Chain A
């Protein structure tokens, strides 16, 4: 980068940002590897893809718009329950179930965005936490609809396109969740490299100044929050469809905290931050599943403290820092 970049136009800047990097193509090709190399781990791979999608949705509001949410699992859970209930009471066609789950979560996201966009700082954290806990409590109490703490049983999903069954091996599940992840990722990628995405980053940096240059912070945050809720709902719906059950855990504070950890570990405010974080987090959790969950959280805690103290921009931030330094010398 030389002095020529100082005279760059906004259009050229956004275009340069949105060009595909070779590493990105390698990354997406690598997501196909589990089909050939680890066919026994396809259900884990499908969980990772779903979690990555969820982390991507949080990245949109937290990493780009700077809205810290401690209750994002509410939308994930709502999407999951909606898709599950839809398959029990209406029909089990997967795509329409996914669409319904995502739209219901998006509608609730739109409704709550009017509350969320009014606040910053501690009040915002508390409001999102409170809304998340409210959603959890509703799911817990509405036993007749959600199965409460026993989880939602009896989810039956029809084969994909009427041909590919969701079986134990997870071929269909992984293909389905990976395809959804990739397509939604393309959409998000386009979004954050659009002027709208640039405005979101501006709001993250200074929420009071953006309205002064004509970008209303609140309406931008409302839009971003709704989109993020829709994506989180889609992730939840895919989880419900591929595992054919919905546990109360999918709407819990624990899940909100987990996704936050992944995103921060990978690097918030970067498209691949949530994805990389989800891959590392889920594989580590699978490898250490032998140790009791309460000790697993010890390491999560250590990790969080280390990331905040040593790697403020996550793994990807650290890597790009090293790369930039290496380029300079």
Chain B
């Protein structure tokens, strides 16, 4: 028999994995362009609504909707990148913050208009419901699935960054943008691709999140805070950093809610402020 702490740890890790999928895109785009994109979770919300609508209104199987959630968020991000973001790459932080907060506000209002403020529950397939008993602890099947997806995404990302030509271009641009430009790498295009990929992953995260945390129009702001915390704690542009930070935040949030519910969200904010004061560039950041 395992003590119940393993159950808490498992839930925390599963939650952390979800947060990782939501945040890794923002981490890479921030590292690449220093673009403060506070609308990142709006893309995640879009993915979530795509999944919810396809499952509930058109009766699609849950798993088949996830690639579409990815594609929808990626496509939306390409459009917005072309129209707005591109013009503000060299603008001040404040302008970037204002533009993206504005877009996030708009996304919340549009989501409310189409889907009301109600939660959008979805039907997951039967093999993802219930839990597997192992040594006296029930491990939720959906959470096991979530960890599997997140690990696959991580492996694909790391492999893509380490072993492909495009990955090498991204790494070069993150390390030294001016030098990369000098070598003939089209940093702006690299960025646009990475941005679409990151937003797509956020969309995938949004689809995956419905079962765990629900989906309503405030998603764009509620999880933005978590995502920003993970990105800044993990360090900009570092996948390993985001991974570690996501698990740290996921476990401390779940453990905090389990063992000290009166602390509420206090614990994760405290973790963030303390980490940033000690290491302003985050745990794995170099700048």
Contacts and interface: CB of A to CB of B under 8 A. Distances in A.
Interface of A: 62, 68, 70, 115, 118-119, 121-123, 125-127, 129-131, 133-134, 137-138, 140-141, 253, 257, 260-261, 264, 268, 292, 294-295, 297-298, 300-305, 307-309, 312
28 contacts: A62-B94, A68-B93, A70-B97, A115-B277, A119-B276, A119-B280, A123-B232, A125-B93, A125-B97, A126-B232, A126-B276, A130-B272, A130-B273, A137-B265, A141-B263, A264-B94, A295-B112, A295-B113, A298-B110, A301-B103, A301-B106, A302-B106, A304-B102, A305-B99, A305-B102, A305-B103, A307-B98, A309-B87
B229 interface: yes
A208 B99 CA distance: 27
Interface residues of B, number: 46
Contacts of A295: 109, 112-113
Interface string B222-265: 00010011001000100000000000000000000000001111
B160 to A, nearest CB: 25
A300 B110 CA distance: 13
Contact of B273 (A134, A141, A305): A134
B217 interface: yes
B269 interface: yes
Interface in B155-214: none
B269 to A, nearest CB: 5
Given A134-B266, A141-B264, A312-B95, A121 B84 contact: no
Contacts, number: 117
Nearest to B280: A123
Interface of B: 30, 34, 36, 84, 87-88, 91, 93-95, 97-99, 101-110, 112-113, 117, 217, 221, 225, 228-229, 232, 236, 262-266, 269-270, 272-273, 276-277, 280-281
Nearest to A297: B105
A38 to B, nearest CB: 30
A127 B63 CA distance: 38
Given A115-B277, A138-B266, A302 B113 contact: no
Contact of A122 (B93, B101, B273): B93
A220 B209 CA distance: 45
A125 B221 CA distance: 15
Nearest to A303: B102
Contact of B102 (A70, A137, A308): A308
A140 B264 contact: yes
Given A133-B225, A141-B262, A300 B97 contact: no
A304 B107 CA distance: 13
Given A141-B264, A264-B98, A122 B269 contact: no
A137 B276 contact: no
Given A126-B232, A127-B273, 14 more contacts: A68-B93, A119-B280, A123-B276, A131-B273, A137-B264, A141-B262, A141-B264, A141-B266, A298-B105, A300-B105, A301-B107, A307-B98, A308-B98, A312-B95
